[in-house]
Structure 1
């Protein structure tokens, strides 16, 4: 078996004793508008990387992930290769499930969640790997016995098939029991260094048309804790202002915008308005006075107005949330999943 997708080279600083890495995989068969395969890697429930069969490359959403990959070409090659090869592995498993359930046509959804949890105080390591089919729990790995267990009678054949694949079980055990906690230690150290940095943004005044609101756009800042607002005569204002959300950039920094309805502003009062950017941990604010001469519009260059990166980024996040959201909801709502390994094996052995 191919080892689990190596999106593990990620990091996130946490103060709690327990740290976890999770990988969520979604495979879809048949004709759909979604990718055939998508995966998301998380640290402590926060997304840090994703990959899908359309883009066929790993996209990191945390700066430490990009730093580690850029500094080690071998790791970068491994991650890229796994992103390319894992969709094929998922296709194979999809066929195994379909044969087990006597399915030949239609669209079907196969999902998996795997990872490890490490307690840095007690040293305890917990691993998990669960598979769901059509939105229901189907089969999971028992960490103590390193055998597969299931509550579904139709999954017994898959259980025996996977139990016989000892090579795969050894890879899982080695990866999650030995390598996973070591990686978490390394990347927590990485995050401890990286997350103390601050990066100030570039701030621009943007306007689509002369009658449009003026957008104060800040991009390239880090960390995420920041504020952007308009003020008049030194006092923050809210009337005629629409503040946007903080959005991630591809390089691990962030961007945000705040719009001012200039149709409410008298021409002679323009210079009494300014846009203020405040970054957590930095004393000096970035202040930009409302000035027509400094406003950049679409007439300058369409590429200078950052609509594309924002729309593209939001679309990618929405798509991944659609693919993984059903999976999360399914697993969290089905807390009554009770493996009945013994009864099923007895029934299976008696029938054989």
Structure 2
């Protein structure tokens, strides 16, 4: 099946935002570089900057334009030209060439020929503005699996696959590279993250409550509780019976991005063994981090919105359609999903890009 460029962008944004949806109060900064081969309708190289799981900057390696998503991001870069130079290097200079060489080398190392291949690097940090704790993270992933990541505590690299051992040995021996990583991940990136949070406070620290609906496809289908339009993504959605949270007969969906910067999530309840008389004992509860009030939706038949009524009265729910579409796209993007790991290596300086390529691809 050939995907349109619009569909491909949806896949990328889902991948981008699904990489870290843990329930956390920490701020985060990520630089995500993604290279692909075998996808004619998808850019060969894209880079994104993400703050608190919000896309703040994006560039396509084939276009010499950096797309800044908010005015406050422009102010950050005007105040800190170092970051703008980093974006340029990641998007248009050493990074695209480096990644193309790495994919070519890795296909040889894994004894692959043709097909679709994805190499992704995520580097960044998390910062707790209450405790001051800083955690840096780096990781390469190849074709949907971890390839190599850094351990700042032991000052070594972790190679979960045999094919990555040769890279680990070379990078472990390079003490200057380790110091370079430590400086970016624990000093430079945290400074930049604090600046983003300061300049974008009104956007990043806002709260928006969702609308909550009950949906059902057919009379025998589970009842889905859908919350959409909330921010931030730190939220919970559960089904309760007699005030107690249910862990069986429920299916929790992912937290997914909406086009307007808010999020949506759903949780299904299987009613196959529940009598109609017991429906009133169930309710769906949404809780947003930092907001005391809960949104409680009782399980009542007249509240359920469905598309199995007779055609003349059929209501097609746009929100439900969006959920289905994103889930389909997430399946297509599964081969580049990092299992919600924390992720990848800080951008290499131009002087080191050739050296990195040789270490990843010794045969070249």
Q: TM-score, normalised to structure 2's length?
A: 0.49
CA distance 1:323–1:95, shift in 2 (3 Å): farther
Distance 2:62 2:35 in 1: 15
Distance 1:117 1:261 in 2: 40
- 1:257, distance to aligned residue in structure 2 (A): 1.8
Q: TM-score, normalised to structure 1's length?
A: 0.51
- 1:249, distance to aligned residue in structure 2 (A): 1.4
Distance 1:262 1:313 in 2: 28
Distance 2:126 2:289 in 1: 30
Query: What SS class does the counterpart of residue 277 from structure 2 fall into?
Result: helix
CA-to-partner distance for each residue in 1:165-220, whole Å, 9 max, x for gaps? xxxxxxxxxxx9xx978744430214554444321110000001111111111112
Distance 1:51 1:316 in 2: 22
Q: 1:212 aligns with which of 221, 224, 244?
A: 221
CA distance 1:15–1:222, shift in 2 (3 Å): closer
Q: 1:308 aligns with which of 321, 324, 344?
A: 324
Unaligned runs of 5+ in 2: 1-15, 17-23, 79-83, 106-111, 130-135, 141-146, 148-162, 178-184, 308-313, 347-354, 356-364
CA distance 1:217–1:208, shift in 2 (3 Å): same
CA distance 1:35–1:270, shift in 2 (3 Å): same
Query: What SS class does the counterpart of residue 261 from structure 2 fall into?
Result: coil
CA distance 1:211–1:40, shift in 2 (3 Å): same
CA-to-partner distance for each residue in 1:215-267, whole Å, 9 max, x for gaps? 111112223333322334x4225275314144131333332222222232322
Q: 1:318 aligns with which of 304, 324, 334?
A: 334
Residues 1:244 and 2:252 aligned together:
yes
- 1:305, distance to aligned residue in structure 2 (A): 1.6
1:297 alignment counterpart: 306
CA distance 1:289–1:97, shift in 2 (3 Å): closer
Distance 2:227 2:126 in 1: 38
**Does the CA contact (< 8 Å) of 2:31 and 2:123 recur in 1?**
yes
Q: 1:277 aligns with which of 276, 283, 286?
A: 286
Residues 1:221 and 2:230 aligned together:
yes
Q: Higher RCO, 1 or 2 (CA under 8 Å, sep at least 6)?
A: 2
Distance 2:290 2:340 in 1: 34
CA-to-partner distance for each residue in 1:312-345, whole Å, 9 max, x for gaps? 56347635436998x94xx79xxxxxxxx9xxxx
CA distance 1:285–1:88, shift in 2 (3 Å): same
Q: How many residues are matched?
A: 275
Aligned CA-pair RMSD: 6.3
Distance 1:194 1:27 in 2: 30
Of 193-202 and 47-56, the range deviating more from structure 2: 47-56
Q: 2:275 aligns with which of 262, 266, 279?
A: 266
- Name which one, 1 or 2, has greater alpha-carbon Rg: 1
Query: What SS class does the counterpart of residue 223 from structure 1 fall into?
Result: coil
Unaligned runs of 5+ in 1: 1-6, 8-13, 100-104, 121-125, 149-175, 333-340, 342-352
CA-to-partner distance for each residue in 1:13-55, whole Å, 9 max, x for gaps? x999xx9855343434567898632445456xx7654868699
